[in-house]
Amino acid sequence: MSSLAARVAAVVPCKDEAQRIAATVEAVLALPSVGRVVVVDDGSTDGTADAARAAGAEVVRHERNRGKAAALETGVARVRALEAAEAAEDSDAAWPAALLFVDGDLQETAANLGVLTDAVLDGRADMTIATLPAQITAGGGRGLVVGLARRGIESLTGFRAVQPLSGMRCVSPAAYDAAAPLARGWGVETALTVDVLRAGLTVLEVPCELQHRVSGSDWRGQLHRAGQYRDVWLALVRRGWRPWRRA
C-alpha cells in the first residue's frame, strides 16, 4: 500500500539492461513522490527481469520485443490494475496522480527525476519533459531524428521542443489518455507531445541532470537511428504533417 504522499507510479520500459536496471529502480523508488515502480522487460535475453525484481520493482515481461510504446502501454495497464485492486481494499487509496516514464539505463542519476514530478503534482503542467545536459559519452548521431521531430512538432502545434525525443516524462492521467493509444515504436515521444498539446494541455520542458547510455556510430547505432527516423516520420504524418506541401 502506498502512502498518500507517494502519488506517482513509475513505468520503466527496458531491454537487456541487467547491468543498469537495479540502480535505476533503486534511485526511482527513493524519490519521495514515487509509490511504485513497474518495469516492463521488453523481450530481454539477459537477467533484466530478475535484477529489477530484486531491486524492488513490480515486473511485467514481454516474451518477445514489442517496442517502447507497447512496453509503456503494458506498464500503465499494470499500474491501473494495481490501483484498482488497492481502491477495492482501501477507499482512501488515491494514487497515482501522475505517471513517470523512465528509461532503464539512467542508473543513479534517476534520483534527479523529482523535478519532473513536482510540476505535474502542483498543477503547473500536464506533462513535463526532461532536457538532459551534455552526456559524458558522446553519441554517434548527427541530429537528423531530433531535427525531424522538432520541425514536425512545431509545425503541428507551434511548440518548439528543445529535446523532442527525451523519454523521461511525467504525465497526468488526462495527458496519458489524450495520447492513447500510443504511437508505435520510437515515435511515441514525438506523438505524445503533439497529442497532449492538441488536447489543450500544458507541456513543460525541465532541465534534469541525467546520464544514460547513448547509441554509438557503429552499424547497430545507425540501424537504431534509422528505425527512430521511420517511426517519428510515421507518427508525424499520421497526425497530419505534410512537409512536402508548401503554402
Whether residue 57 contacts residue 12, with contact meaning beta carbons closer than 8 Å, is answered with yes
Specify the 3-state DSSP secondary structure of 204: strand
Q: What is the pTM of this model?
A: 0.89
What is residue 245's predicted lDDT score, i.e. its pLDDT? 73
Mean pLDDT score, 173-194: 95
Q: Which CATH number fits domain 8-237: 3.90.550.10, 3.40.50.720, 3.20.20.70, 3.30.830.10?
A: 3.90.550.10
pLDDT grade for 76, boundaries at 50, 70 and 90: very high
What is residue 4's predicted lDDT score, i.e. its pLDDT? 45
pLDDT grade for 141, boundaries at 50, 70 and 90: low
Percentage of the chain lying above the pLDDT 70 cut: 87
Sheet with 98-101: list strands edge to edge. 58-62, 34-42, 8-14, 98-101, 169-171, 127-131, 203-207
Predicted confidence (pLDDT) per residue in 49-68, tens digit? 999 999 999 999 999 999 99
Higher pLDDT, 200 or 83: 200
What is residue 172's predicted lDDT score, i.e. its pLDDT? 96
Q: What is the C-alpha to C-alpha distance for residues 118 and 120, in angstroms, rounded to an integer?
A: 6
Range with the largest mean pLDDT of 60-64, 130-134, 240-244? 60-64
| Residue 16: alpha-carbon gap to chain centroid | 17
What is residue 90's predicted lDDT score, i.e. its pLDDT? 67
Whether residue 21 contacts residue 14, with contact meaning beta carbons closer than 8 Å, is answered with yes
Q: What grid cell was written down for 13?
A: 520500459
Residue written as cell 531535427? Answer: 147
Mean pLDDT score, 69-81: 95
Q: Which segment of 13-17, 84-88, 119-123, 229-233 scores lowest on mean pLDDT?
A: 84-88
Q: 3 to each of 38, 50, 82, 89, 152, how far by Cα in Å?
A: 17, 26, 14, 14, 41
- Rounded to 5 degrees, φ, ψ at 224 are -60, -45
Mean pLDDT, the chain, rounded, equals: 89
Q: Concatenated DSSP letters for 164-203?
A: TT---EEE-HHHHHHHPSPPSGGGHHHHHHHHHHHTT--E
Q: Where are the domains of the chain?
A: 8-237
Helix axes 219-237, 188-198, angle to 10 degrees: 20
DSSP state of 219: H
- The alpha carbons of the chain give a radius of gyration, in whole angstroms, of 17
Mean pLDDT score, 140-161: 89
Q: Work out the end-to-end distance of the chain between its first and last CA atoms, rounded to an integer number of angstroms.
A: 56
Predicted confidence (pLDDT) per residue in 2-33, tens digit? 444 568 999 999 999 999 999 999 999 999 99
Higher pLDDT, 213 or 95: 213
What is residue 211's predicted lDDT score, i.e. its pLDDT? 86
Whether residue 192 contacts residue 146, with contact meaning beta carbons closer than 8 Å, is answered with no
